[in-house]
A = this chain, B = another copy of it.
Amino acid sequence: MTQGGVTLEELKKKMADFARERDWDQFHSPRNLLLALVGEVGELSEIFQWKGEVPRGLPEWKDEEKQHVGEELSDVLLYLVRLSDICGIDLGKAALRKLELNAIKYPVILSKGSSKKHTQINGDNNSDGGLLASTKNNNSSCSCSSSTSSDCV
């Protein structure tokens, strides 16, 4: 861990070492890892499946359950880091870039308090899945007419 916390680079290296030591590189093809990731997302979902709505911070959960959540979140992360590595993608760099794209896609002035997808905010035809806010089939109340194009794309 660096002074500022755990880096994605560090996890990537640990996963690569782990696999190499066990001769597991042979199993770590992109689609194998992707299906393993899906499996872990399934395990994470199972924890939440009969809970109904759950408040932030999981205040009434037992320590054992919260630890279980942490383990499943970690499993998803570790496979995600490994899948990125095997695909030749720098996940940290890609994530920072995506955050910048999202800031452009969801300008504060147009997105405030709305869960509308950016295609509904901006009125364009971009079908790319928007991060952080994405509801289909809502009518956008934003005419976007007064926005400059830099706001809207």
CA distance A51 to B35 in the complex (A): 10
Output the nearest chain B residue to A89 by Cβ-Cβ distance. B70
Shortest 6 CB-CB contacts between residues of A and residues of B: A42-B42, A6-B92, A127-B127, A5-B9, A70-B94, A74-B98
| Contact yes or no, A48 B29, CB < 8 A | no
Q: Which residues of B contact A77 (CB under 8 A)?
A: 77, 80, 91, 95
- A49 in contact with B4 given A30-B58, A39-B129, A74-B97 (CB within 8 Å): no
CA distance A51 to B115 in the complex (A): 10
- A133 in contact with B92 given A39-B45, A49-B36 (CB within 8 Å): no
The interface centre, meaning the residue of A6, A89, A92 with most chain B CB atoms within 10 A of its CB, is A6
Q: Is the interface of A mostly helix, strand, loop or mixed?
A: helix
Question: Residue A60 at the B interface, CB < 8 A?
Answer: no
Interface residues of A in 105-153 (CB under 8 A from B): 106, 108, 111-113, 115, 119, 125, 127-129, 131-137
Q: List 22 A-B contacts (CB under 8 A).
A: A2-B4, A5-B7, A6-B7, A6-B91, A22-B133, A29-B56, A32-B51, A35-B46, A36-B45, A36-B132, A39-B42, A39-B45, A41-B41, A42-B43, A43-B129, A46-B129, A46-B135, A47-B136, A47-B137, A58-B87, A71-B101, A78-B99
Over the window 6-40 of chain A, the binary record of Cβ atoms lying under 8 Å from chain B Cβ atoms (1 yes, 0 no) is 11111100110011011110111111101111111
Q: Which residues of A contact B (CB under 8 A)?
A: 1-11, 14-15, 18-19, 21-24, 26-32, 34-58, 62, 64-66, 68-80, 82-84, 86-99, 101-103, 106, 108, 111-113, 115, 119, 125, 127-129, 131-137
